[in-house]
Amino acid sequence: MKLLTRSYFEELDRTDPLSHFREKFSLPENTIYLDGNSLGARPKTALNRARELIDQEWGKGLIGSWNAAGWWDLPLTLGNKIAHLIGASPGEVVACDTTGINLYKVLAIAMRLRPDRKVIVMEGSNFPTDNYIAEGLVEQLGDGYEIRFVEEDALTRAITDDVAAVCLTHVHYRSGRALDMKKITRVTHQSGALSIWDLCHSAGALEVELNNAKVDFAVGCTYKYLNGGPGSPAFIFMAERHHGEARQPLTGWWGHADPFAFEQAYRPAENIRQMLTGTQSVLSMAVAEVGVDIMLDADMQKIRSKSKKLTSLFIDLLEQNCTDHDFVLQTPRSEVARGSHVSIGHPHGHAIMQALISRGVIGDFRAPDTLRFGFTPLYLRYTDIWDAVDKLAQIMASEQWQHRCFQKVEAVT
């Protein structure tokens, strides 16, 4: 391999078609933010939007803003925007609640739609909340319902004719590995099961083609690659063919066919609105819309292309400048087989990440040994990758990570 130099990265920055997006984000100085896969950076205009909402819409418009400022329809308005980013049609996506709560709703729907089947197939190594949620549902259903936990290599064999739903995360939170959504969904349907995908590490990171892959249901969050802000709402996708027949279990008034009729009995809306349960955090949702709007202005192919390049160069630089330090690449080497983060294992991963953060390079750590680096094409420069690996190499060479101050483990890693 040809020796990589910083001037090559400078050249890439000069010709980067996405470079102008960086100025839309507020980033602290002397910081290389490689954690946008966990909490996206703040769009500059998020502050104006929050101020406008609090000052004008709430402060002056008061209750009238539910209509006049579009608060009531915001879950659908935002859902329709997110639909563009994940290969869905208008009317198939709604923004609301959290990923976990939304997963509960769609899993429960799937079990109701396949009443003669009692198995959910999931990946045991998935982000735990998805598995916890499924455990809670299965426990409540009782009566022989179960989760079949498998890993990727055993996945298609596990999708047998007793399976009601196959519920997978598209891009793995730890390894960054991307599953073949279209192929697995086809196998799922061949067995008569329904297909549910978690897009937390996909939405805004790579092209997602839900309808092209014929997916039944999907969920995801907006605070990672969509830059929606801490705790911003999640979303639900339900393919149009299920509208009307699906019935989600959290039957609150926002999902009623006619909420302001105040009927005594629940009557489900026949469209995506049925996925709603109750009053949403309007402030958080309005701020999330700012992040989604920026994403809609960017071309997803350009984002994906830059993301592949950033992750590949990071891996190449690690191999050029950080050998001899026991790092193990945990992310697939093939760029089509990964999302937009790279994970490397090291027995002292936590202390190394703390030392990196103290030098202004922010990634995160996932127990027991994973250092995770997220690459967000809208606000990262190629030179950031060079500088980050340069700092990592210095920390390893000087053994700075061994310092006592880097051994403390906080609640959020």
Ligand X SMILES: *Cc1c(COP(=O)(O)O)cnc(C)c1O
Which positions are annotated as active-site residues? Answer: 127, 198, 223-224, 372
Q: Does 200 bind ligand X (CB under 6 A)?
A: yes
Two structure tokens written together for 249: 């279990």
Q: Which of 173, 237, 386, 406 binds ligand X (CB under 6 A)?
A: 173
By the 10 Å C-beta count (0-12 exposed, 13-18 middle, 19+ buried), 223 is classed as: buried
Q: Which of 65, 99, 227, 331 binds ligand X (CB under 6 A)?
A: 99
Q: Which of 105, 201, 304, 348 binds ligand X (CB under 6 A)?
A: 201
- Find the shortest distance in angstroms from Cβ 37 to ligand X: 9
Q: How far apart are CA 42 and CA 325, in angstroms?
A: 34
Q: Which of 16, 92, 123, 130 binds ligand X (CB under 6 A)?
A: 130
When the beta carbons of 169 and 331 are compared against ligand X, the nearer one is 169
Q: How far apart are CA 113 and CA 214, in angstroms?
A: 16
* Bond from prior residue into 368 cis (ω within 30 degrees of 0): yes
Q: Which of 45, 125, 129, 191 binds ligand X (CB under 6 A)?
A: 129
When the beta carbons of 122 and 385 are compared against ligand X, the nearer one is 122
Q: Does 123 bind ligand X (CB under 6 A)?
A: no
Q: Which of 98, 125, 281, 413 binds ligand X (CB under 6 A)?
A: 98
Determine the size of the site formed for ligand X (CB under 6 A): 13
Q: Does 152 bind ligand X (CB under 6 A)?
A: no
Task: Calculate the CA 68 to chain-centre distance.
Answer: 31
- Residues between 215 and 274 that touch ligand X (CB under 6 A): 221, 234
Q: How far apart are CA 36 and CA 227, in angstroms?
A: 8
The DSSP bridge partners found for residue 237 are 93, 218
Of 203, 281, 268, 279, whose CA–CA distance to 242 is shortest? 268
**Who contacts 212 (Cβ-Cβ below 8 Å, separation ≥6)?**
87, 182
When the beta carbons of 31 and 98 are compared against ligand X, the nearer one is 98
Interface stretch with ligand X, choices 86-94, 98-106, 235-243, 365-373 (CB under 6 A): 98-106
Q: Does 37 bind ligand X (CB under 6 A)?
A: no
When the beta carbons of 341 and 348 are compared against ligand X, the nearer one is 341
Q: Which of 127, 225, 379, 382 binds ligand X (CB under 6 A)?
A: 127
Q: Which of 57, 92, 123, 198 binds ligand X (CB under 6 A)?
A: 198
Two structure tokens written together for 3: 């020796």
Q: Does 364 bind ligand X (CB under 6 A)?
A: no
Interface stretch with ligand X, choices 126-134, 202-210, 254-262, 271-279 (CB under 6 A): 126-134
Q: How far apart are CA 385 and CA 34, in angstroms?
A: 9
Q: How far is CA 129 from CA 120, 132, 370, in A?
A: 15, 5, 18
**Contact between 392 and 356 (Cβ < 8 Å):** yes
Q: How far apart are CA 91 and CA 272, in angstroms?
A: 6
- Find the shortest distance in angstroms from Cβ 260 to ligand X: 29
- Find the shortest distance in angstroms from Cβ 124 to ligand X: 13
**Who contacts 249 (Cβ-Cβ below 8 Å, separation ≥6)?**
104, 105, 108, 109
Number of helical (H) and strand (E) elements in the chain, helices listed first: 12, 15
Interface stretch with ligand X, choices 61-69, 125-133, 313-321, 348-356 (CB under 6 A): 125-133
Of 293, 278, 401, whose CA–CA distance to 350 is shortest? 401
Which residues are near ligand X by CB under 6 A? Answer: 98-100, 127, 129-130, 169, 173, 198, 200-201, 221, 234
